[in-house]
């Protein structure tokens, strides 16, 4: 972080303090019933986090959709479509590619209104994407993801930091999933916690060429590298760390801001960087593919990492989900 950024964020501290107080007050008003929630005719499972971006919400939503589809459930995903256009976004496109028309999508800021459109379809399970702070919609299960490589302690509230809510908000969670290790041991070790804690990591399934109809390939099929990696996601260092964990040799990296929409000029600079570093190919994420549409890489091929989130242990994670949903069904009540 530059000196200018540090000074600028320091000037925003009063606004951040106000943001934190408003977030706590709002949550308390919902918990006490002063602000009313709306309910859908179906099970609602929320996937969210405490920070801005980069914890793995999209892979978790995909995992849950696959889980409920395997049970024969009719599934809809309710997403705001953040920074998207024309009824879609980079994250929604990733989910659509993985789920291949097997789930319905409701897109818009008002998730209750989006969900009500499916009344006639008899949806069994609504997956509320990025829903932990969307308290106006009642839910049966709250799954909160925490990036273990970025400790919450000492983090500031928006806009000077990345926090949406403090760690104390986890009291509303049913399940906390720590993605990536180190830094969040304090969450798992809390004696008074009411939520179950699991870990999860991204498993590399293969690579897909950035081109229409690109086929999945194994690492041995795209060469030994070294590769030049780039991305425009919430936690770029997490992606680069995953690449190294998967034993990909990297000649260099370049990070762009989250949801970055690339230009042909960016393409030219990336190809120049890769060539200068001696990289025969570029590597990026599936999420970035949507923001690269319409652009051409004439000199250096681009491969997308195809991944799958793996909770550990998966059987116990499934049992925790089933247990909480059974409790919600037997009590007849939903959470604030």
Average pLDDT (255-280) is 97
Average pLDDT (313-326) is 97
CATH number of the domain enclosing 261: 3.40.50
Tokens of 267: 């393409």
**Are residues 279 and 164 part of one domain?**
no
Q: What is the pTM of this model?
A: 0.93
CATH number of the domain enclosing 188: 3.40.50.300
Report pLDDT for 84: 77
**Are residues 190 and 66 part of one domain?**
yes
**Are residues 260 and 168 part of one domain?**
no
**Are residues 134 and 216 part of one domain?**
no
Domain that holds residue 240: 204-307
**Are residues 170 and 110 part of one domain?**
yes
Report pLDDT for 123: 97
Count of domains in the chain? 2
**Per-residue pLDDT for 189 more than 60?**
no
Predicted confidence (pLDDT) per residue in 107-148, tens digit: 999 999 999 999 999 999 999 999 999 999 999 999 999 998
Assess if residue 151 is contained within a domain: yes
Assess if residue 96 is contained within a domain: yes
Assess if residue 11 is contained within a domain: no
**Are residues 158 and 71 part of one domain?**
yes
What's the start-to-end Cα distance of the chain, in Å? Answer: 37
Assess if residue 24 is contained within a domain: no
**Are residues 84 and 69 part of one domain?**
yes
**Are residues 196 and 210 part of one domain?**
no
**Are residues 295 and 168 part of one domain?**
no
Assess if residue 16 is contained within a domain: no
Q: What is the 3-state secondary structure (H, E, C) of the chain?
A: CCHHHHHHHHHCHHHHHHHHHHHHHHHHHHHCCCCCCECCCCEEEEEEECECCCCCHHHHHHHHHHHHHHCCCCEEEEECCCCCECCECHHHHHHHHHHCCCCEEEECCCHHHHHHCCHHHCCCEEEEECCCCCCCECECEEEEEEECCCCCCCCCECCCCCECCCHHHHHHCCEEEEECCCCCHHHHHCCCCCCEEEEEEEEEEEEEECCCCCCEECHHHHCCCCEEEEECCCCHHHHHHHHHHCCCCEEEEEECCCCCCCCHHHHHHHHHHHHHHCCCCEEEEHHHHHHCCCCCCCCCCEEEEEEEEEEECHHHHHHHHHHHHHHHHHHCCCEC
**Per-residue pLDDT for 12 more than 90?**
no
**Are residues 232 and 102 part of one domain?**
no
Assess if residue 188 is contained within a domain: yes
**Are residues 278 and 133 part of one domain?**
no
Assess if residue 229 is contained within a domain: yes
Assess if residue 15 is contained within a domain: no
**Are residues 172 and 49 part of one domain?**
yes
């Amino acid at each position: 972080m530059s000196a200018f950024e540090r000074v600028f964020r320091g000037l925003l501290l009063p606004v951040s303090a106000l943001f934190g107080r408003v977030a706590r007050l709002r949550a308390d008003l919902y918990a006490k019933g002063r602000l009313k929630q709306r309910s859908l005719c179906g099970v609602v499972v929320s996937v969210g986090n405490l920070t801005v971006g980069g914890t793995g919400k999209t892979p978790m939503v995909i995992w849950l959709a696959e889980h409920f589809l395997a049970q024969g459930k009719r599934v809809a995903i309710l997403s705001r479509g953040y920074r998207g256009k024309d009824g879609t976004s980079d994250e929604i496109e990733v989910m659509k590619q993985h789920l291949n028309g097997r789930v319905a999508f409701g897109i818009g800021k008002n998730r209750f209104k989006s969900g009500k459109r499916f009344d006639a379809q008899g949806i069994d399970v609504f997956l509320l994407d990025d829903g932990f702070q969307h308290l106006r919609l009642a839910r049966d299960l709250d799954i909160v993801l925490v990036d273990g490589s970025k400790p919450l302690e000492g983090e500031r509230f928006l806009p000077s930091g990345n926090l949406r809510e403090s760690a104390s908000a986890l009291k509303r969670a049913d399940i906390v999933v720590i993605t990536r290790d180190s830094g969040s041991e304090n969450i798992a070790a809390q004696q008074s916690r009411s939520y179950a804690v699991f870990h999860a990591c991204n498993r590399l399934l293969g690579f897909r060429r950035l081109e229409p109809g690109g086929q999945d390939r194994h690492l041995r099929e795209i060469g030994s590298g070294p590769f030049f990696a780039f991305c425009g996601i919430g936690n770029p260092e997490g992606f680069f760390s995953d690449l190294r964990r998967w034993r990909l040799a990297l000649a260099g990296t370049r990070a762009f801001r989250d949801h970055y929409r690339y230009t042909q000029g960016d393409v030219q600079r990336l190809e120049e960087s890769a060539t200068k570093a001696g990289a025969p190919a570029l590597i990026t994420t599936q999420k970035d593919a949507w923001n690269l549409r319409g652009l051409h890489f004439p000199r250096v091929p681009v491969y997308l990492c195809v991944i799958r989130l793996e909770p550990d242990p998966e059987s116990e994670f499934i049992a925790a989900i089933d247990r909480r949903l059974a409790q919600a069904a037997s009590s007849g009540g939903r959470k604030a």
